[in-house]
Structure 1
């Protein structure tokens, strides 16, 4: 089988399109690159949707944690503490069994026990908590002079937050938030190890890398391929977030512009 035919058969297999049977023996490098790349589409799906939705929820949590009212502050504080204080894998574990119990109550909850929705909800809540703490720190770091200037112009409430506080908060938080987005995409590999099943072998990139490692007893080919794909994905994220970072800092002198720096997160 040619590499072109392999790509045609397996490029979209992770979504259920193409050849249904996985190769059983005589694995080629093209088959491994194609199938692991096919599974990467699930990792990109988890990470992209979780980052976008979690961004808006994180802003709401950061504002809530900064609120004077205990009714708004305490729920935000406990939510952030809960999801930052527990390991992501444990969150997957408990969420899956919670969703299974809901499924037994009514069939309307069936999608929650599937990885495409159940695992996505866990990632969304987790990144919202981490991002909220980043945004909260940036919100508390806004220079008082900016707020006083807004007051002098008569800006109060929502107009002041939207035109002065929120842009400054984003500018201060963006380098750290970029790291959070990168580590969230890396954390999508935990979906394979969680209780959420890969229905009809429609798994993510780690699922297929593990499949090849088990069949060949050689992890030194599929796992470096997996790492290669994630390095490419990381470069794409850094590039996209770097463009936004330049946009946020476009009004500052060159020497005051905050640059993106990748800081390894050893424990998630």
Structure 2
């Protein structure tokens, strides 16, 4: 089998397309790159969706923690402390065991039976844990940025009569994002790296359709040589990190486009007509 045939057979195997059986012997470098790259689809899936939904929950948690009402502040503080204080690896196991305790036949609510079997699948259960975990860490970042907004900005808004929702939308929220974005970029990178823990968690890989580390471990066990598949995983994550840095850097530049340091200087021709 040539390398192009290998790519055609295994490129989307982690999604259930292509060859059903994994190679058993005579492993080639192309097979390892292709299958591990196929598994990276799941790592990207976990990271993108957890980051997307976690961003909105993190904003709500940050606002709740900054609220003067204890009914909103205390639950947010407990949530953030719980998920920041416990290891992600333990959260995976506890979530899987808790979801396994749900009735197999589903839960009946108002005469409607809600299926629960899908919650123990990695695509749902592991994603839910990552979503809550990154929301807690990001909320603390946004909360710190919210508290760091210069008072002069808020006083200027009050002087112009901008209050309530308009002040938050036009002054507080954009400033909070600008201040928090560098730290939030690090959290996004950490989240994508944390998706490698899904393989070690209790959530099983359905029909050998695992993530990148699943296939890397398979090749390491079969070849007794971990120094080929694991560096390939690291290479894929490095490429993914560079992509994240580029995307988040462009967003950061957009958020700070009004600053003088980010404004492109225009060359003006001013001939000296009179000496």
Tell me, yes or no, whether TM beats 0.5. yes
**Structure-1 residue corresponding to 2:27:** 27
Per the normalisation by structure 2, the TM-score is 0.92
**Structure-2 residue corresponding to 1:143:** 150
Note the C-alpha offset of 1:104: 3.2
DSSP-derived class of the 2:226 partner: coil
**Structure-1 residue corresponding to 2:186:** 179
Structure of larger gyration radius: 2
Distance 2:167 2:237 in 1: 40
Distance 1:12 1:83 in 2: 33
1:120-160 deviation digits (Å, cap 9, x = unpaired): 00000000000000000000000000000111111111111
1:212 pairs, out of 219, 224, 229, with 219
**Structure-2 residue corresponding to 1:108:** 115
Note if contact 2:256-2:262 (Cα within 8 Å) is conserved in structure 1: no
- The structure 1 segments of at least 4 consecutive aligned residues displaced by more than 3 Å after TM superposition are none
Note if contact 2:58-2:136 (Cα within 8 Å) is conserved in structure 1: yes
1:120 pairs, out of 127, 133, 138, with 127
Aligned residues: 256
Q: 1:54 to 1:225 in 2, by over 3 A?
A: same
2:141 pairs, out of 122, 131, 134, with 134
What is the CA RMSD across the aligned residues, in angstroms? 1.1
**Structure-2 residue corresponding to 1:57:** 57
Query: What are structure 1's unaligned runs of at least 5 residues?
Result: 257-268
Note if contact 1:103-1:113 (Cα within 8 Å) is conserved in structure 2: no
Structure 1 residue 81 and structure 2 residue 81: aligned?
A: yes
Q: Which has the higher helix share?
A: 1
1:181-222 deviation digits (Å, cap 9, x = unpaired): 000000000000000000100000000000000000000000
**Structure-2 residue corresponding to 1:48:** 48
DSSP-derived class of the 2:161 partner: coil
1:161-188 deviation digits (Å, cap 9, x = unpaired): 0000000000000000000000000000
Note the C-alpha offset of 1:103: 4.2
Superposed counterparts of 1:246-257, under 5 Å: 246-254=253-261
